[in-house]
Amino acid sequence: MIGIIDYGLGNIRAFANIYHELDLPYRFVTGSEDFDQLSHIILPGVGSFDSAMEALERNDLCDALHTAVFETEIPILGVCVGMQVMAKASEEGEKEGLGWFDTKVIKIDSTKSAPTPHMGWNKVRQMKSVSLFEGINQDSEFYFLHSYAFQTDCDGVVALASYSHDIGVVLQKKNIVGIQCHPEKSHSAGTKVLENFAKLY
């Protein structure tokens, strides 16, 4: 059973529609009591780093996520801000993140040819072969909407995108996976990512 975290941020219905089309079972998770029998977790996110952390705290989800990820070792996929909160902190806000990646999210350099937010379609360059991208061509395009990102030297970076500079857009460390772009908005390539994630472990 795939659990889609419903904490008021992210287009959870888009994820649900894709898993419905793939005929894979899912349910929305609103509190710690909903984690029973989950095999995978999706942590979506739209908006700011601090608002995401505040929403997780308000819904008492931080401890439940830590337990699921580190004790039960359930695979988790953080999307956009849902990925960024896996860091220790962000230049965007004041709050501490979940701290699963030992790094700080930084603001993307803005230029005339590459303004922020980074919005629209961009190629994703796979640096390592990972099962999340099985069956997806190198340099496939995905949809992005963000102004902050992981640095390329962050431990766990497996794919990059080039904008004003290279940014880390896919991270993986054991059962913890993050993707900066929006697979739920990225047509067939994004659907394949979500299908592959559901097969992890």
Catalytic residues: 80, 182, 184
Nearby residues of 41 by Cβ (< 8 Å), 6 or more positions away: 2, 3, 5, 29, 65, 68, 69, 74, 75, 76, 77
CA dihedral 127, 129, 130, 131 (to 10 degrees): 140
Size of the chain, expressed as the number of residues it contains: 201
CA distance 145 to 134: 24
CA 17 vs. chain centroid, Å, equals: 18
Count Cβ atoms below 10 Å from residue 125 Cβ, excluding itself.
15
Q: What is the CA radius of gyration of the chain?
A: 15
How distant, in Å, are the alpha carbons of 76, 90, 104 from that of 99? 14, 11, 9
CA 176 vs. chain centroid, Å, equals: 10
CA distance 5 to 177: 15
